Amino acid sequence: MQTLTPKFVNFDATIPSLSMEKMKKIEVLIPAKIIQDQIANDIEMIQIIFNKINYNIEKEIKFLKKQQNFYRNLIFDKFKNL
């Protein structure tokens, strides 16, 4: 991948600038609609997977906290009886 910046940016000024005239000449490649739709579907599927993973992680954290409390109480109860 190469940078096209020098071709469009005016470096003669103290602060580099990009004029509207030069901005209009910049070509932006946009994939076909079918490819955009496929990308959107892929992103949606990834989002669904991440949401399921996050939900399962939250459930696991809740379970581990309950388990931690159970064993902590079990240990403290043993010491109380000594």
The boundaries of the domain holding residue 28 are: 5-80
pLDDT tens-digit series, residues 32-56:
999 999 999 999 999 999 999 999 9
For the chain, helix, strand, coil in percent to 5 are 70, 0, 25
Global pTM? 0.53
Answer yes or no: is pLDDT of 9 > 90. Answer: no
Greatest Cα pair distance in the chain? 85
**pLDDT at residue number 28:** 87
Answer yes or no: is pLDDT of 26 > 90. Answer: no
How many structural domains compose the chain?
A: 1
27, 10 in Cβ contact below 8 A? no
